[in-house]
Amino acid sequence: MVQNWILVIQDSLSALWEQVLTFLPSLIGAILVLIIGLIVAAILERISERIIYYLRIDSALKKLGAHTYMERANINLNTGHFIGKFVYWFVVIAFVLAASDILGFFALSSFLGAVLLYIPNVIIAALILLAALVAANFVRRLVVSAINSAKLHHADGIGTLAWWVIFVFGFLAALQQLGIAETIITAIISGFVAMLALAGGLAFGLGGRDHAKKFIDDLGKGMK
């Protein structure tokens, strides 16, 4: 009986030791991949920051007025730091994915692969928001200048309304790019367009009936 127990324990320890010896090369390989990944990520982060610095993207964004909204959110405008950190973590996640494949952690590999595939959507959404801010600022200045040149009233109010319309559409487009509540966003946009069409129809039908009749009569005379 005792000999049987000893044999069972020996067999178990031998099997465990064989598994450790089999797993050890994979573990060493995964650790080496992670170390190389951290080094490569740090180098690429530094290179990205210097490239953004020499391109003077921050200066261009400040001229477009994007830094104002960053300061309101207590965020310093530092595009190089942002891009550098993004590159760093992208490379780190890619090497962690490779290490998990070496170790056979396929569930983790699947999750990290989905994260890497989703990252481009985040970049595009951020670019959409940035473009919306720049376009909104430009259109607001254009509208205010045009209304002031025509010596009309409420230039600032109309300019602010134009700013919000462009920004809201950009924000909704960014959310749609991220795949967040696409059905709700589509319903909101459809409802907003329908509201504008209904409001315009009512305003034209109730308040502009006489003007519409005169316009049609003049158009008919011109065609004759």
Q: What would the pLDDT profile of 81-109 be if each residue is shown by its tens digit?
A: 778 888 888 888 888 888 888 877 777 77
Residue 52: is its pLDDT beyond 70? yes
CA separation, residue 211 to residues 47, 139, 221 (Å): 64, 30, 15
CA separation, residue 117 to residues 72, 94, 104, 120, 178 (Å): 32, 11, 20, 7, 12
Q: Which long-range contacts (CB under 8 A, 24 or more apart) does 172-180 make?
A: 173/128, 173/132, 174/125, 174/126, 174/128, 174/129, 174/132, 175/125, 177/121, 177/124, 177/125, 177/128, 178/121, 178/122, 178/125, 179/121
Residue spans per domain, the chain = 1-104
Contact (Cβ atoms closer than 8 angstroms) between residue 172 and residue 189: yes
Question: If you average pLDDT over residues 181-187, what whole number do you get?
Answer: 67
What is the reported pLDDT for 48?
86
User: Degrees (nearest 5) of the Cα angle 46, 93, 122?
Assistant: 85
First and final C-alpha spacing in the chain = 118
What is the reported pLDDT for 141?
83
**Crossing angle of helices 155-178 and 106-149, rounded to 10°:** 160
CA separation, residue 31 to residues 25, 36, 44, 95, 107 (Å): 10, 9, 20, 10, 19
Share the mean pLDDT of the chain.
75
Residue 204: is its pLDDT beyond 80? no
**Phi, psi at 215, each rounded to 5°:** -65, -40
* Residue bearing the bigger pLDDT, 127 or 40: 40
- How confident is residue 39, by pLDDT bands cut at 50, 70 and 90? very high
What is the reported pLDDT for 224?
55
